[in-house]
Amino acid sequence: MSAPSMNGQAPSLPRHLAIIMDGNGRWAVRRGLSRHEGHEMGIEALRRVVRACVARGIPYLTVYAFSTENWERPADEVAALMRLLDRVLIEEVDELAAQGVRVRVLGRRKGLPEDLVARIEQACQKTAGNDRLILSVAWNYGGRAEIVDAAQAIAREAAAGRLDPEAINETLFAEYLYTAGLPDPDLVIRTGGEFRISNFLLWQVAYAEFWATPVLWPDFSERDLDEALEAYRHRSRRFGRVEVGPQP
Ligand code: FPP
């Protein structure tokens, strides 16, 4: 968890920004386009936001791109999304590396096409030395699934006698999540006008600030990002404590 500042004010920029990129389908349907074309334009928006985070010095960005629930979508949309990630990982990785971006993919590998898993591992390895921005793409990701996976891994360690159940605390538990090593998000942005968390980073958002906008993801601009960052700057983060007055 990021530490609160002494006066309870949010630091001026979030260290970790998380985004629920919603509204690609509606964006496309309103223009008489296919949902797939909406997802294509969603990539453009993601490029803009990555560049903007690098420029502003935000070191961690996590985006929700494919949830465990998204398998329920029509098969052709699911297949198109898998191809889209594959293509993005091929075409964008050099540009991301040039910007100092490290790519991580959070979620269950099981259930994904084998060649996509290989592509994911390649992109993660190729960018592993970068640290200007850690871009985590949540793919085949579910917050509850993540907690279950962590619980299973911990239980296996305990059953094998390698872990004392009394040693399980919040810090240890977090080390078994897909997000191990990442700080908790400070700010969650949701586009597309809904006010739900939709099974995204359930453990990690315990104290995150939330910002929702009706702007559909393909339209999300640098100005929209700055509006969210400005709102965040004025939030008072107390992490369950009382406001602390100015220090003497
Ligand atoms: C939500 O819009 C968006 C998604 C389920 C997919 C998000 C994917 C992208 C932004 C592009 C792919 C990203 C990568 C990294 C390959 P929706 O389809 O639910 O929109 P709707 O609510 O208007 O139907």
* pLDDT tens-digit series, residues 158-202: 999 999 999 999 999 999 999 999 999 999 999 999 999 999 999
Options 3.40.1180.10, 1.10.1370.30, 3.90.550.10, 3.60.20.10; CATH of 16-142+184-233:
3.40.1180.10
Instruction: Identify the pLDDT of residue 239.
Output: 83
Domain boundary assignment for the chain:
16-142+184-233
**How remote is the CA of residue 22 from the centroid of ligand 1, in Å?**
6
DSSP conformational letter for 130: -
- The SS3 call for residue 53 is helix
What does residue 6 show for φ and ψ, rounded to 5 degrees? Answer: -60, -35
Check if 131 is active-site. no
Intervals of the chain under pLDDT 70: 1-10, 243-248
What's the number of CA atoms in the CB half-sphere (13 Å) around residue 207? Answer: 15
Q: How far apart are CA 92 and CA 108, in angstroms?
A: 22
DSSP designation for 148: H
Total length of the chain? 248
Asked if 59 and 15 touch (Cβ cutoff 8 Å), the reply is: yes
Predicted pLDDT of residue 143? 98
- For ligand 1, which residues put their CB under 6 angstroms from it? 21-26, 39, 42-43, 46, 65, 70, 84-85, 88, 137, 192, 217
Catalytic (active site) residue 22: yes
- CA angle, 210 then 61 then 169, to 5°: 75
Residues 191 and 19: beta-carbon distance below 8 Å = yes
Cα separation, 58 vs 150, in Å, equals 28
